[in-house]
Structure 1
Amino acid sequence: MTKLMVEDRIDRPAADVFRAIVSPDGLSSFFTAEASAAMVPGTVVTWRFGHVDATFDVEIGEIETDRLISWRWPGADVTIELADADGGGTHVTVTEQPMGDGIEGAARAVGQTQGWTYFVCGLRAYLLHGIRHFGLSAAIRATVVG
């Protein structure tokens, strides 16, 4: 099964990173336009993404405080792992799978790489500098041509 992984390091404790992701106020500060509720295992929350005029129901999976966050959304499973980084801070690993096969899978991987890179950059900007939604637009595109 093809999976995508995006990794980064954020100079904040895992507890801060975790809170920013699982709370509706935190998540809507850097990733979604709106999150209907906190992430609680076994629940379904609704996320709205204003820049692409999309709304998704997200099934929350396993949550381990300050360590693991997982969910299922249309077509894929997402896991975010948090670990102590060498020299301090938190190592963040986002994994999404499956990506699919052939040109369709490659195109999905390109799009999701773009999205998860924005996620970790937005999370860092929010946690380190208080910057909310620093500039993703509906015009940004990445394309696979085969």
Structure 2
Amino acid sequence: MELKFTVGGRIDKPVHEAFEAVVNPAHLSQFFTTGGAQGRLEPGATVTWDFHDFPGAFPVEVVEVEQNARIVLRWAGADDAVTPDAQGRALTTVTMTFAALDGGRTHVQISEEGWRDNAAGLKASYGNCEGWTGMLCAMRIWLEHGVNLRDGFYK
């Protein structure tokens, strides 16, 4: 069985605002990366994301960025949970898509794949699915109401 998931939701903001909330580290740090984000998401870049619930900055490899439409990232997972890539790195692939909807709304969808088909991979995929769902909820509340839903949640 291939372990992968997709989560999504609608945000009452134009696609450019939703997209910019993810690619701009100053915005992302307001609602998702509770320990801060360093570096704008641009193709070929490696940025860092830090979370209070998982201390220590994570390197995030930016594979693809299509303005206002798509972001593809790779980041490390536990060696026993993630299938190594051709270079032997245990990385999962995250794909975010942004679609403009009627009324100035945006549909954001996040998919992640690359785990081993074992207990460690299943557990890790469930944890990341939970994390991305929380990110979408926090993103919506921050963009629509200016509230950081994650503030103090993990401290």
TM-score scaled by structure 1? 0.87
Task: Give yes or no for the alignment of 1:136 onto 2:124.
Answer: no
Task: Give yes or no for the alignment of 1:97 onto 2:83.
Answer: no
Task: Give yes or no for the alignment of 1:84 onto 2:100.
Answer: yes
Task: Give yes or no for the alignment of 1:18 onto 2:11.
Answer: no
Cα separation, 1, equivalents of 2:40 and 2:118: 36
- One-letter amino acid matched to 1:119: M
- One-letter amino acid matched to 2:59: D
Encode CA deviations 1:48-78: one digit per residue, 9 max, x unaligned.
Answer: 1123213111111110111011111102111
Cα separation, 2, equivalents of 1:115 and 1:2: 16
Cα separation, 1, equivalents of 2:5 and 2:115: 7
Percent of pairs with identical residues: 38
Match of 2:66 in 1: 64
- One-letter amino acid matched to 2:72: S
Contact 2:15/2:104 (<8 A) preserved: no
**Unpaired segments ≥5 residues, structure 2:** 77-90
- One-letter amino acid matched to 1:16: E
Cα separation, 2, equivalents of 1:103 and 1:37: 34
- Report the aligned-residue RMSD: 1.6
Which segments of structure 1 move beyond 6 Å, counting only runs of 4 or more?
A: none
Contact 1:14/1:66 (<8 A) preserved: yes
TM-score scaled by structure 2? 0.82
Match of 1:112 in 2: 128
Cα separation, 1, equivalents of 2:121 and 2:108: 24
Contact 1:122/1:134 (<8 A) preserved: no
Match of 1:46 in 2: 48
Give aligned pairs, total: 138
**Unpaired segments ≥5 residues, structure 1:** 139-146
